[in-house]
């Protein structure tokens, strides 16, 4: 049973580690591929074209001209290329599925999608909200700024990727699973009016109610939904191989149920799966979970 109106998937790897500034996450695409993501999708009836990996220059100076934005130049370059590839694939009638790599690659993925879906809804599964800027960041790591960039806030070399006009509407963004939010991010989220479902909301109302409200928001007046799936949204007991684990996350079944509900909407037009770090993983547990969640969002069912 196909999850979308599009049965043609382009698999795009982005072995990016600089947004997280921690070694290992650049091996995420290999770990996800070795966990048989293509075979799983093909078993569901999809035609999968694996485009390989976008090249990332490994030797980089941590700080460029903007001291609080680590590896800015290379992250901007890679995301510019990713946006072009994603846009080209969508123009060819493909559904882009990007595998990372750290969460900074969401900039390129979504910027590319916005070339074709200007009223895009975004579901951001993450322990973090990723709306820091150079003014609020404590680490300088751009993977914690990607959603802010997509809303139009951040360094010009990032915001301008694929055109400054390409940005998401905060009314069509939901964050699910948040439990680690910086002080500056709290202010930003309230100012932007972004709906954040914290773990408190999931505990209190259940994933069904959370996803029903989330889907209502991301599909209201939109022309498709993008899934940004950060594996640290899950509890570290379920997904230990992530660079920034936070205790008390979504369970394995809660995560699958959310993916299953997104599948049922028929609105998925693009997705990325990020932050799988094989160095920190246990028996490839996190990469396997990532592939299993992808299976659910693309229509895999128990019966």
**pLDDT above 70 for 64:** no
- 73 lies in a domain? yes
**pLDDT above 70 for 92:** yes
What is the domain range of residue 140?
8-297
Whether this prediction's pTM lies above 0.85 is answered by yes
- 226 lies in a domain? yes
Main-chain dihedrals φ then ψ at residue 237, nearest 5 degrees? -65, -30
Which residues are known to be catalytic? 103, 126, 128, 130, 143, 230, 232, 275
Tell me the pLDDT band of 63, cut-offs 50, 70 and 90: low
Rounded CA separation 57/32 (Å): 21
Rounded CA separation 126/286 (Å): 14
Lookup: tokens for 81: 């290329």
**pLDDT above 80 for 1:** no
Q: Residue positions in the annotated binding site for Mn(2+)?
A: 103, 126, 128, 130, 230, 232
Rounded CA separation 146/129 (Å): 9
- In tens, the pLDDT along 111-144 reads 999 999 999 999 999 999 999 999 999 999 999 9
- 169 lies in a domain? yes
Q: Are 87 and 115 in contact (CB under 8 A)?
A: yes
**Do strands 195-198 and 95-100 pair parallel, antiparallel, or not at all (unpaired)?**
unpaired
Helices 252-265 + 285-297 axis angle, to 10? 30
Half-sphere exposure in the Cβ direction for 48 (13 Å, CA)? 20
CATH number of the structural domain spanning residue 207: 3.40.800.10
Lookup: tokens for 129: 């909200």
**Phi-psi region at 16: left, alpha or beta (left = phi > 0; alpha = psi -120 to 50):** beta
Q: Are 160 and 152 in contact (CB under 8 A)?
A: no
- 66 lies in a domain? yes
**How high is the pLDDT of residue 227?**
98
- 2 lies in a domain? no
**How high is the pLDDT of residue 3?**
44
Lookup: tokens for 275: 């932050």
| Positive or negative: CA dihedral 278, 236, 287, 151 | negative
Lookup: tokens for 48: 């999968």
Q: How many domains does the chain have?
A: 1
Rounded CA separation 146/154 (Å): 9
- 139 lies in a domain? yes
Longest dimension (CA), the chain: 55
Rounded CA separation 117/226 (Å): 10
């Amino acid at each position: 049973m196909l999850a979308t109106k599009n049965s043609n998937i382009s698999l795009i790897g982005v072995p990016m580690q600089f947004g997280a500034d921690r070694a290992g996450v650049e091996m995420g695409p290999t770990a996800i591929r070795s966990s048989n993501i293509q075979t799983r999708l093909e078993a569901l009836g999809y035609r999968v074209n694996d485009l390989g990996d976008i090249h990332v220059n490994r030797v980089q100076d941590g700080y460029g001209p903007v001291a609080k934005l680590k590896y800015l130049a290379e992250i901007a370059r890679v995301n510019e290329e990713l946006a072009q590839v994603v846009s080209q694939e969508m123009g060819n009638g493909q559904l882009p599925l990007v595998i990372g790599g750290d969460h900074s690659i969401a900039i390129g993925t979504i910027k590319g999608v916005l070339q074709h879906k200007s009223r895009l809804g975004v579901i951001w599964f993450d322990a973090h909200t990723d709306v820091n800027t150079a003014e609020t960041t404590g680490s300088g790591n751009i993977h914690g700024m990607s959603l802010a960039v997509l809303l139009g806030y951040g360094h010009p070399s990032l915001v301008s990727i694929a055109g400054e006009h390409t940005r998401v509407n905060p009314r069509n963004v939901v964050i699910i699973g948040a439990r680690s939010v910086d002080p500056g991010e709290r202010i930003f989220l309230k100012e932007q009016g972004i709906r954040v479902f914290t773990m408190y909301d999931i505990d209190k109302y259940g994933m069904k109610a959370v996803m029903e409200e989330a889907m209502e928001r991301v599909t209201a007046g939109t022309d498709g939904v993008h899934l940004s799936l950060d594996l640290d949204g899950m509890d570290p007991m379920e997904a230990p191989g992530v660079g920034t684990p936070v205790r008390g996350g979504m369970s394995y079944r809660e995560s699958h149920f959310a993916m299953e509900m997104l599948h049922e909407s028929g609105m998925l037009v693009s997705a990325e799966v990020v932050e799988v770090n094989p160095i920190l993983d246990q028996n490839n547990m996190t990469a396997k979970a990532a592939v299993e969640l992808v299976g659910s969002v693309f229509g895999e069912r128990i019966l």
